[in-house]
Structure 1
Amino acid sequence: MIPVRLTLDPAFRVGPVRRRTFGSFVEHLGRCVYTGIHDPGHPTADQDGFRTDVLELTRELGVSTVRYPGGNFVSGYRWEDGVGPVDRRPRRLDLAWHSTEPNTVGVDEFMRWAARADVEPMMAVNLGTRGVQEAVDLLEYCNVPGGTALSDLRRANGAADPYRVRMWCLGNEMDGPWQTGHKTAHEYGRLAAETGRAMRMVDPSIELVACGSSSSSMETFGEWERVVLTEAYDQVDYVSAHAYYWEEDGDLGSFLASAVDMDHFVESVTATADAVRAAQKKSKRIHVSFDEWNVWYQRRAESRPPSGDDWPVAPVLLEDRYNVADAVVVGNLLISLLRHSDRVHAASLAQLVNVIAPIMTEPGGRSWKQTIFHPFAAASRYAAGEVLRVAVDAPTYETARYGDAALVDAVATHDAETGDVTLFAVNRSTGAPAVLDVDLRALPGLRLVEATSLANPDHTWSATADDDTSVAPRTNPTAEVADGRLRVQVPPVSWNVVRLGTRA
């Protein structure tokens, strides 16, 4: 048994729980759109061809925002191809994923899907092969009520009311040499500033996200953010962060400590943004949109796009199958995002369906939940009120990637109106359970509502269409509250949720 002491105190506030933390991502990549959210021949398909089984799972997952249409895809996308009569839409080569895009689903279809899924749309504009005018045109199409060529075109296409999209990404990963039309920091910073300025002339209420560096491992990381924000500080509200955490690769201990890197990433980006703020003597703060994050097994064959003369529609790409350890890491990354809610104001799990996703589908067939579905759904459902920084006194272990890491990591939320408290915790130990001794004396009157753990003796267990329920969060019978303390035993390699309340 690993003894761990934790302390909760309502004075240890980080910031409010932000609903946009629980966003996701739909890109025209692989089977995310076609046979993912959209499958007209499916038995559950609605009048627009959207799978209602996927819509139900999206709502159950608790997704708040969805970023669309990319991703790498957006840097070659012509949004006009995806509006108007479907039978007149052109088929185009998608250079990002070496595929053919039929444009069956476009802006209007996505907006109807988002409304049915009860999610806020977060749009990205193409600043790879296009620029200011095309971004302004798309904004006019989406947000202007009527009386102009493009707003009236939207109305003619069946949407009388404007979509009023609030969040807009100014391109995607523009420092990446894999990006169509990738740019230097100075080139992109100027383009982002001019695009943002023009878009605000159309709709001053929008919120704009500048591209941060594509990864903390990029040579451009840090300096890219500094240069871009120096150019575009006044025009943007957020800078993006993207991070994917690799398979355990024989080093499970390091993999389980991936959130240590996410903590460092957020703190580095915000430090750079604040340095630009100080240098320019600004009062406004730039916050982080962590709009791509997940576990991604990039070395697997399914991560390799087609090649040569093969340009298929919706090929099988990036269809990782996630195990229990992956779910624990995803849960820990959610802990990191919540822990930084003072500066991370939005985040998007990449992606929603089939492509490195919590939801999987068979074309025309079944849908099911991957292991990573469960921590995301629980955090979205139960995180409420204010995020509390948890004081954790736990033994550490040495990792090859991240140095010393605590064996237990945790965050909590406190809803002052209801009195409800939720503790989210992971046990990174690969061989021993941990006993959490949680000091609740600063929050008197709390009672145990529910305690659950997601774990399995075989941390490599993965869900399938035939079995996505035999390993899921289960009631943890060891939890008890007495004398102002919570005590609970959590298994090795586990994600844990303890809900506490003051009501009988």
Structure 2
Amino acid sequence: MKREAKMVIDKEFKIDEIDKNLYGSFIEHLGRAIYTGIYQPDHPLADEEGFRKDVIELVKELQVPIVRYPGGNFVSNYFWEDGVGPKESRKARLDLAWRTLEPNLFGLNEFVSWAKKANTEIMMAVNLGTRGIDAACNLLEYCNVDANSYYSNMRRDHGYDKPHNIKVWCLGNEMDGPWQVGAKTPQEYGRLAAETGKAMKMIDPSIKLVSCGSSGIGMPTFPEWEAITLEHTYDYVDYVSMHQYYGNKENDTADFLAMSMDMEQFIKSVIATCDYIKAKKRSKKELKISFDEWNVWYHSNESDNDYMEKKPWNVAPALLEDIYNFEDALLVGLMLITLIKHADRVKMACLAQLVNVIAPIMTDEKGGAWRQTIFYPFLHASIYGRGIALQPVIETTKHDTTNHTDVTDVEAVSVYNPENEEVTIFAVNRNVDHDVEFTSDLRGFEGYKVLEYLVMEHDDMKAVNTLNNENVKPRTKNEYVFDEGIFTTNMKKCSWNVIRFGK
């Protein structure tokens, strides 16, 4: 059977404008994400504030618009006051989430300074595990209020005269998870989050708030958690969060690359639940989604759990340091395509995380930093996926895998950037056995030509990058035909493809 995929692209087939925050990321006080990740004062490449300049340059290369901080599970037992003021007077505390010792040498103000250098905004999370309304409001006052008030003046005493003006706030993290410090029932969380959000918007009505969704589609309470909590929070929040990780635990590449179908169904289910609450409340507000944790994560699970159990209370041990391979990059590309396809409702997303911890960027404590395999699909989407998401109209051959049926050979989406007069196709051939003849009809884009065709291809699904060997990286492909608005190429099996057109 001939394997083929035919795609029609038309600028009138609009999904919605892509919010730049779709390409956000995440930094948690976990493992080496901060200490020896973004902050290492004794490193040869550290700047005057102790930030690693090599890491900042890689983050700037990715053009990350927003970074979620300080967690994650960490935030549910976090005292933000410990991380501000003179470093010599800061307290070291036990981090119950990851069973490590947090020295608090890096805190809120350091992160604000780092974010400015990295050209990114901040998505701040508040502790609704062991704390509540008062601590959240105090933190917001410290960050955003320009008045002669206690916490505003505390910020000034710490050397920051002007407010940080942080505009996006998460009301806790994964509060349905039994692993969470201070986990809540949906009724408990819904009431607490609603009252916290209401009070925070009294302080600063301009902020955007994220209500906790289920910790993942596999939670036994999903989607009841969303339905119950949003009954309380819907009128006060702007987003509901989604979290999901995938892994090739069975070493079944074909089925692994079909897992973006599960992500698609998860998004549709959350949208349906949000719209049910909208209808129930007779509301005119359409709730958006913040998919603020997503990635591949499975390589490091067992060893990390063993380490935290047997060697607790160390500072910045190497935890969750997944070394990503080529097939991981393909799934990350597929997940990015899925997010873009839902750009009308998914307005924020955070690749979790950014440095060292399940991350596109890795560092050597005594040496340099390098790009993992997953760095490149994220880079391409972040740079070329700005503009208007176009509805994918595709006919493609399909295949079945161990746990999925009717899996499309080619999964693709296109983005139109009217400002630059460019249109970009992001596509993955996820068939592990066959190349696919890919054809795209660019109707409505008269006079356009191929600007660039980037591919990531590799014979070894398990190939990885290291500090000294960038084994998996994109290359320019010239094997295609573009004639009278019809683009044709042989799309290699298991490949990531970025095809850019412009005038």
**Fold conserved between structures, TM > 0.5:** yes
1:48-127, aligned counterparts within 5 Å?
48-127=49-128
Contact kept? 2:18, 2:344, Cα under 8 Å: no
For the pair 1:374 / 2:376, whether they are aligned, the reply is yes
Contact kept? 1:96, 1:180, Cα under 8 Å: yes
Letter in 1 for 2:438: L
1:307-456, aligned counterparts within 5 Å?
307-308=309-310, 310-456=312-458
Contact kept? 2:300, 2:321, Cα under 8 Å: no
Structure-2 separation of matches of 1:75 and 1:300: 21
Structure-2 separation of matches of 1:98 and 1:53: 29
Letter in 2 for 1:445: G
Structure-1 separation of matches of 2:165 and 2:151: 14
Aligned to 1:29: 30
How far did residue 480 of structure 1 move? 2.8
Structure-1 separation of matches of 2:250 and 2:216: 20
Aligned to 1:231: 232
Structure-1 separation of matches of 2:419 and 2:60: 25
How far did residue 400 of structure 1 move? 2.5
How far did residue 298 of structure 1 move? 5.6
For the pair 1:177 / 2:159, whether they are aligned, the reply is no
Cα offsets for 1:194-226 (capped at 9, x unmatched): 000000010000000000000001011110000
How far did residue 488 of structure 1 move? 1.8
SS in structure 2 opposite 1:234? coil
Letter in 2 for 1:228: T
How far did residue 341 of structure 1 move? 0.4
Aligned to 2:199: 198
How far did residue 299 of structure 1 move? 6.0
How far did residue 14 of structure 1 move? 0.6
Alpha-carbon RMSD across the aligned residues, in angstroms, is: 1.2
SS in structure 2 opposite 1:403? coil
In the alignment, structure 2 segments of 5+ residues that lack a partner are none
SS in structure 2 opposite 1:352? coil
Contact kept? 1:41, 1:364, Cα under 8 Å: no
Structure-1 separation of matches of 2:280 and 2:157: 48
Contact kept? 1:297, 1:303, Cα under 8 Å: no
SS in structure 2 opposite 1:399? coil
Cα offsets for 1:51-80 (capped at 9, x unmatched): 010000000012111000000000000000
Structure-2 separation of matches of 1:220 and 1:250: 29
Structure-1 separation of matches of 2:300 and 2:40: 29
TM-score between the two structures when normalised by the length of structure 2: 0.98
Structure-1 separation of matches of 2:121 and 2:369: 23
Contact kept? 1:15, 1:386, Cα under 8 Å: yes
For the pair 1:140 / 2:141, whether they are aligned, the reply is yes
SS in structure 2 opposite 1:497? strand
Structure-2 separation of matches of 1:50 and 1:479: 44
After alignment, is 200-209 or 386-395 more displaced?
386-395
SS in structure 2 opposite 1:100? strand
Structure-1 separation of matches of 2:391 and 2:88: 54
Structure-2 separation of matches of 1:402 and 1:13: 29
SS in structure 2 opposite 1:47? coil
Structure-2 separation of matches of 1:249 and 1:87: 48
Structure-2 separation of matches of 1:77 and 1:293: 22
How far did residue 158 of structure 1 move? 1.4
Aligned to 1:7: 8
Structure-2 separation of matches of 1:309 and 1:349: 28
Aligned to 1:258: 259
How far did residue 149 of structure 1 move? 1.1
Structure-1 separation of matches of 2:291 and 2:108: 23
TM-score between the two structures when normalised by the length of structure 1: 0.98
Contact kept? 1:72, 1:173, Cα under 8 Å: yes
Structure-1 separation of matches of 2:301 and 2:234: 39
Which consecutive aligned stretches of 4+ in structure 1 deviate over 3 angstroms post-superposition?
Answer: 298-303
Structure-2 separation of matches of 1:119 and 1:401: 39
Structure-2 separation of matches of 1:484 and 1:446: 8
Aligned to 2:168: 167
Structure-1 separation of matches of 2:451 and 2:162: 44
SS in structure 1 opposite 2:234? helix
Contact kept? 1:23, 1:65, Cα under 8 Å: yes
Cα offsets for 1:329-366 (capped at 9, x unmatched): 00110000010000000000000000000000011311
Structure-2 separation of matches of 1:326 and 1:86: 39
Structure-2 separation of matches of 1:259 and 1:449: 28
Structure-1 separation of matches of 2:303 and 2:359: 13
Aligned to 1:20: 21
After alignment, is 167-176 or 260-269 more displaced?
260-269
Contact kept? 1:26, 1:351, Cα under 8 Å: yes
Structure-1 separation of matches of 2:393 and 2:293: 28
Contact kept? 1:39, 1:364, Cα under 8 Å: no
Aligned to 2:493: 492
